[in-house]
Amino acid sequence: MRFPDLTGVFDVGTLLETNVRLGVTGLRRAGKTVFVTALVDNLLKAGRLPFLDVVSSGRFQASRLRPQPDPDVPRFDVEGHLAALAGPEPRWPDTTKGIGQLRVSIRYQPGSALLRTVQPVATLNLDIVDYPGEWLLDLPLLRLSFAEWSGLTLDLAQQAPRDGLSALWRHWLADIDPTAPAEETAARQGAALYTDYLHACRRADTLLSLIQPGRFVEPGDMKDAPLLTFCPLSGGLGGRGSLWELMENRYEAYKTNVVRRFFTDHFARLDRQIVLIDVLGALNAGPYGMADMKRALELSLEPFRHGASGWFDWLFGSKIDRVLFAATKADHIAAHQHAHLRGLLDQLVGNARSAIRFDGAAVETMAIAAVKCTESVTTEHEGRQLRCVRGTPVGRDRPTVLFPGEIPDNADAFPPGREHPYNFLPFRPPADLGRDPRGLPHIRLDQALQFLLGDYLE
């Protein structure tokens, strides 16, 4: 049982009102916006949550949207995203371009008879923050100097498949003297070429995940700001007035004014965390995409404060005491493959999971689908029984039965000589999503909620 929030007035009226801040984190294409939308829709309707104990035990009363706690943060447009998913022509919501926040208040009866005598109804205020996945990759910059970041970034840019994507920027680097007097024209040219390289990584078929700084490709309200006019440099350190000093100063200002502020205002206040991971996308991308995603995940999770919570969290800041790693889009494969997908996820996050458990936090892994777009079916092909999925692939206009392929049992199991051996197709939202009053269909969203919030709802 979590301790109630004691930062407000301590009286009977607020004793059983608890606040929890859930961090929905993950790299791009993992489906954070769809996850938040489906989570909110299902909490408001509560018709598809049989494995959430507060619902199955009959103690759930109702949920409603409430004013968010941070008035300076834009509101997450859950209504607009639901309209896109459940409208007459269903489509996936637009990708997140900036930060958004939402509060859902859950009213329920406490499980303890003693607590029910004090107050028969309790409230859990769930605060959720959505943001572009690229911003998560800025967090590792907090521990790197400009020289360290430049060296690591250049080393990575020289390796396949990034070497071809970064050729123009590296050619510019070869002709630039970082110790020469600073010129704004040179700084802007270098930043533009480096930004073009990052966009090329973002578009690459190999699903490159490690893209820094994140605001270069998703600037939000900082578009065209001088603070984004820098790039890594090679060569020796420059003195006062040099191009190196100019770039270094802007890098440090970016860390202070953007990264550290974003971390302090949002991530440092998290109580629980779910990390969404597009494992199927990494398989499609091949070994480079898989390795790059693993590296990006491990780096992005290092700055978070994980560990068991205690009495003094209100004084020193909260810790994240439960972390769920979730492989998304589980509906894109047949149901019998979900265990294999989870096993692959276990390998992908093995190092990060061990580090978080060592810090004292509880960790779980799952294969989920925030919005279920397919049905598992069995068909016969050349005398064999194949377990397939039936849904409408993106780019088609009618349901199709497809054999999506088998999930490998090892993250390194890529057939030799085949750069992209897997092709797990994306699917469109079903045409009837808006007709069911029980909430958006899903796979294990209720089990994810039970792990993340179940103890708060006891």
Q: Which tens digit of pLDDT belongs to each residue from 345-376?
A: 999 898 888 988 888 899 999 999 999 999 99
Do residue 171 and residue 289 come from a single domain?
Answer: no
Domain interval for residue 271 = 12-131+266-373+435-453
What residues does 443 pair with on adjacent strands? 369
Any domain includes 416: no
Do residue 125 and residue 143 come from a single domain?
Answer: no
Structure tokens at 194: 């480096």
- Choose among 342, 308, 284: nearest CA to 455: 308
Any domain includes 410: no
Per-residue confidence (pLDDT) for residue 370, from 0 to 100: 97
**The residue to which tokens 């509101």 are assigned:** 75
Any domain includes 413: no
Do residue 217 and residue 82 come from a single domain?
Answer: no
Any domain includes 393: no
**Sequence-separated (6 or more) residues with CB below 8 Å from residue 97:** 132, 218, 220
First to last CA, the chain: 7
Total count of domains within the chain = 2
Do residue 125 and residue 145 come from a single domain?
Answer: no
CB atoms closer than 10 angstroms to residue 176:
18
Per-residue confidence (pLDDT) for residue 20, from 0 to 100: 95
Per-residue confidence (pLDDT) for residue 150, from 0 to 100: 96
Sequence-ordered alpha helix ranges (H) in 317-389: 338-348, 350-358
Do residue 298 and residue 443 come from a single domain?
Answer: yes
- Tens of pLDDT, residue by residue over 31-58, are 999 999 999 999 999 999 999 999 999 9
Residue that is last in its domain, among 202, 224, 258: 258
Do residue 111 and residue 248 come from a single domain?
Answer: no
Do residue 60 and residue 168 come from a single domain?
Answer: no
- Choose among 229, 136, 273, 243: nearest CA to 181: 243
Number of alpha helices (DSSP H) and beta strands (DSSP E) in the chain: 18, 10
* Cβ contacts of 155-161, under 8 Å, gap ≥ 24: 156/210, 157/197, 160/288, 161/204, 161/206, 161/208, 161/288
Residue that is last in its domain, among 201, 229, 258: 258
Per-residue confidence (pLDDT) for residue 306, from 0 to 100: 80
Do residue 156 and residue 238 come from a single domain?
Answer: yes
Any domain includes 424: no
Do residue 182 and residue 326 come from a single domain?
Answer: no
Distance between CA 387 and CA 144 in Å, rounded? 48
Q: For the stretch 79-94, what's the b/e string if a residue is b when 16 or more beta carbons lie within 10 angstroms of its beta carbon?
A: eebbebbbeeebebbe
Half-sphere CA count of 333, side-chain side, radius 13 A: 25
Residue that is last in its domain, among 228, 258, 288: 258
Instruction: Mark the ranges of the chain whose per-residue pLDDT is less than 70.
Output: 1-15, 308-318, 413, 415-420
Structure tokens at 305: 């404060």
Any domain includes 422: no
**The residue to which tokens 């329920």 are assigned:** 108
Do residue 278 and residue 305 come from a single domain?
Answer: yes
Per-residue confidence (pLDDT) for residue 417, from 0 to 100: 55
What CATH number does residue 304 fall under? 3.40.50.300
Per-residue confidence (pLDDT) for residue 13, from 0 to 100: 46
Do residue 176 and residue 311 come from a single domain?
Answer: no
Distance between CA 412 and CA 344 in Å, rounded? 10
Q: Is 117 left (phi over 0), alpha (psi -120 to 50) or beta?
A: alpha
Any domain includes 394: no
Per-residue confidence (pLDDT) for residue 237, from 0 to 100: 76
Per-residue confidence (pLDDT) for residue 366, from 0 to 100: 97
Whether 255 contacts 249, CB under 8 Å: no
Distance between CA 76 and CA 102 in Å, rounded? 6
Per-residue confidence (pLDDT) for residue 4, from 0 to 100: 42
Any domain includes 379: no
Do residue 254 and residue 273 come from a single domain?
Answer: no
